[in-house]
Amino acid sequence: MENRRRYYRLRSRSEEKSLGFSFEELHCLAACRDVAAQFLPESVVDRISQTVTALALHLAEGNPPTAGQPIGFRSKGFIDYSPHFQTITTLRKAIERRQVCRIVYRARGRQAEGVYRYAPGRLVAMSGTLYVLGYRMSEGSVLPDRPTTFSIHRIAEVTPTGEYFRFNAADGEARTFGLGWHEPRRVEVRVDAEAADYVRDRVWSDDQVVKDQEDGSIVLSVTTTSEKELNAWVSSFGGQAEILGSVAHNDNN
C-alpha cells in the first residue's frame, strides 16, 4: 500500500512448481556455469548446459526466456584441465567426507615427484589456476601438521587412504591476500593517484585499511599469506605502486 494505492505482484504457476526456484535463480546458475567453463572439460560444460535448458523448459512450460549472451573469457594462455578432471572429482569427494589422501606431486622447477599425506580442505581458483588448500599430515597421524597449497595441474596422483580427519582443513576464516604459502604477514603498499581508485574499489584482504594521502595517492595495509603474489601484484602497476614495508601483525584482527 502506497499513497492509498494497493500494488500486487503476480507469480506464474510455473515458478511455484516443485523445483523450488525461479528464473532469476536459474540465470544465476547459468552465470556460474559460464564462469566455471574455463576450468571444465567441454563435455561437462555441455551436460551442464543441457541441464540448465531442461530446467528452463520445465519452469516455463515450453517458453523459456532468453538468457542472453553467455559470459566469455579471453586469456593469452590457459591451463587445460580436461586431463585433471578425475583429480578434481576425487578431491571434491575427499573434502566432503574429510578423507585423508595420498598426493603425488611435482613442484614447479623440480623433476622429481614428492609424496605427501594430505587433508584437503578447499578448492580455489586464482588467476586462471585451480588450487587445493589443506594440511600436510605426519605419517600415521590424523592431526594437521602444516598448511600446504597444491596446484591441481601438478598433482600426478591422488588416492584416498581410507582414513578420516576431524579438523577444519578449509580454515574458512578471514580472507588474506594470496594463497596460503606462509603465515600471515601485515604489509603496507603505497599506490599512486592514477591507480588509487582501482585499488580502493576492491577488497584485497578482509582486514585491509586504506589511508588517503594529500597528493591523491593511498597507503593500503593488507594481510598476506603469499609475499611472492603480493610482489608480483605490485610490479604489475608498472611503477605506480611500491611496498613500504611490513608492520606488526595483530592476531586479534
pLDDT digits (tens, 9 = 90+) for 112-129: 999 999 999 988 887 778
Tell me how far CA of residue 219 lies from CA of 54, 174, 227, in angstroms: 50, 21, 17
Same domain for 87 and 160, yes or no, is yes
Q: What residues have CB less than 8 Å from 92, skipping those under 6 apart?
A: 123
Q: For position 68, what pLDDT does the model report?
A: 52
What grid cell was written down for 201? 574499489
pLDDT at 59 exceeding the cut of 70: no
The strand pair at 218-224 and 241-247 is best described as unpaired
Number of residues that make up the chain = 253
Within a domain: 169: no
If you search the block for the grid coordinates 603480493, which residue do you land on? Answer: 230
Same domain for 56 and 125, yes or no, is no
Q: How many domains does the chain have?
A: 3
Same domain for 110 and 43, yes or no, is no
Same domain for 90 and 45, yes or no, is no
Same domain for 43 and 93, yes or no, is no
Task: Tell me if the pTM is above 0.75.
Answer: no
Least confident of 10-19, 87-96, 146-155, 182-191: 10-19
Long-range Cβ pairs for the range 16-24 (8 Å, 24+): 17/58, 17/59, 19/55, 19/58, 19/59, 22/59, 23/56, 23/59, 23/60, 23/64, 23/65
Same domain for 91 and 47, yes or no, is no
Within a domain: 68: no
What is the SS3 assignment for 5? Answer: strand
> Which of these three, 164, 197, 218, is where a domain ends?
164
Within a domain: 10: no
pLDDT band of 19, cuts 50, 70, 90: low
Q: Which domain holds residue 41?
A: 15-60
* DSSP one-letter string for 123-166: EEEETTEEEEEEEE--TT--S--EEEEEEGGGEEEEEEEEEE--
Within a domain: 8: no
Q: For position 49, what pLDDT does the model report?
A: 81
Q: For position 109, what pLDDT does the model report?
A: 82
